[in-house]
Structure 1
């Protein structure tokens, strides 16, 4: 028997969605501008090209940077509007149907999976860390965790009471889970590219 939905107005989640959406949108906008500059002047480096390791140009110019036939940042320009709208609507008192939440989660899950793939491509194929890409990773990862836990704790996704209780408690641990995720990415980058040492050397060069 499905339990009734709770947490129908998750204020903290709404605020985070707005913040994450704004940050993610700005990162996508910045990458789009860099891509336009590269199209106008292919020989000009991007403003976010800090070193051979930390740069945007290699990522934007690769096939991984246009997986669907157009620059990836355009996905962000369109996609990051959704969390801003959803978060604002929640704060305004909106209540969403189950199908809406599931659809929203599916979009977030796609973004999360895409980010994981891009992380692997950056580290193991391109051997670069794109600053604006990393900003996108930084907000996508906790957003996926938070929305997933909300669907479980609220009853939007039917689950036993114990699972809902654990998901509710887990919301407080989303920041730590995100930090641990960042640490894993950094560790993989260090093992594959000696990234930490190179970044420190660049900073003190």
Structure 2
């Protein structure tokens, strides 16, 4: 089934923004990884405090889950939503199977960052927050929510017109869902014993 006649401009623009931000965060982490490999004892520019740093994450097995640095996944993976978004804005129409594959990729990214959040907070060898990782979390979460709603409204998940119409209306609630997700993560951080808000104030001011 093809996409709705009306182009999802707002969704496409968001994908572009998220892709650029996510790719930049992955690029910065990749650079930091090179620095860490060259000088293992040197503090990285993203080591902002004992609780907010990326050295610990980059040097852990969780930071190379698939046998290579996780940031490389971001460098390649963020190209997909960027290309899709530009194509949509250019007027491209994709079949149902294409959107299903796209949705599967976004879902995999979401599951992966949820796992990384859990590892960052609860793994005994971590217990720190990586600044560039948090930026990645911040763009993957709304991208996942928006993609799931879009795939419902464009007929990828269902052909039921009422469900599609409901999903169309639900898109405006994605920002609220995102804020609630952020609040939940901050709560988990606080419960873990890391004063997230205090750390942010100290780092910024």
Q: TM-score, normalised by structure 1?
A: 0.93
Deviation string, structure 1 residues 106-135 (Cα, Å, up to 9, x no partner) = 110000000000000011111111100000
Q: Residues 54 and 128 of structure 1 are in contact (CA less than 8 Å); yes or no, is this contact kept in structure 2? A: yes
The more displaced of 195-204 and 29-38 is 195-204
Q: Secondary structure at the match of 2:192?
A: helix
Instruction: Give the Cα separation in 2 of the matches to 1:169 and 1:8.
Output: 14
Q: 2:111 aligns with which of 86, 110, 113?
A: 113
Question: Please, which runs of 5 or more residues in structure 2 have no aligned partner?
Answer: none
Instruction: Give the Cα separation in 2 of the matches to 1:42 and 1:185.
Output: 30
Q: 1:79 aligns with which of 77, 80, 93?
A: 77
Instruction: Give the Cα separation in 2 of the matches to 1:116 and 1:178.
Output: 14
Q: Displacement of 1:197 after TM fit?
A: 5.8
Q: Displacement of 1:198 after TM fit?
A: 4.7
Q: Secondary structure at the match of 1:141?
A: helix
Q: 1:13 aligns with which of 11, 15, 18?
A: 11
Question: Please, which runs of 5 or more residues in structure 1 have no aligned partner?
Answer: none
Q: Residues 8 and 95 of structure 1 are in contact (CA less than 8 Å); yes or no, is this contact kept in structure 2? A: no
Q: Displacement of 1:164 after TM fit?
A: 1.6
Instruction: Give the Cα separation in 2 of the matches to 1:95 and 1:150.
Output: 14
**1:153 maps to 2:191:** no
Following TM superposition, where does structure 1 have runs of at least 4 consecutive aligned residues deviating by more than 3 angstroms? Answer: 200-205
Q: Residues 18 and 143 of structure 2 are in contact (CA less than 8 Å); yes or no, is this contact kept in structure 1? A: yes
Instruction: Give the Cα separation in 2 of the matches to 1:139 and 1:55.
Output: 19
Equivalent pairs, count: 203
Q: Displacement of 1:200 after TM fit?
A: 5.5
Q: TM-score, normalised by structure 2?
A: 0.93
Q: Displacement of 1:170 after TM fit?
A: 1.2
Q: Secondary structure at the match of 1:105?
A: helix
Instruction: Give the Cα separation in 1 of the matches to 2:204 and 2:69.
Output: 33
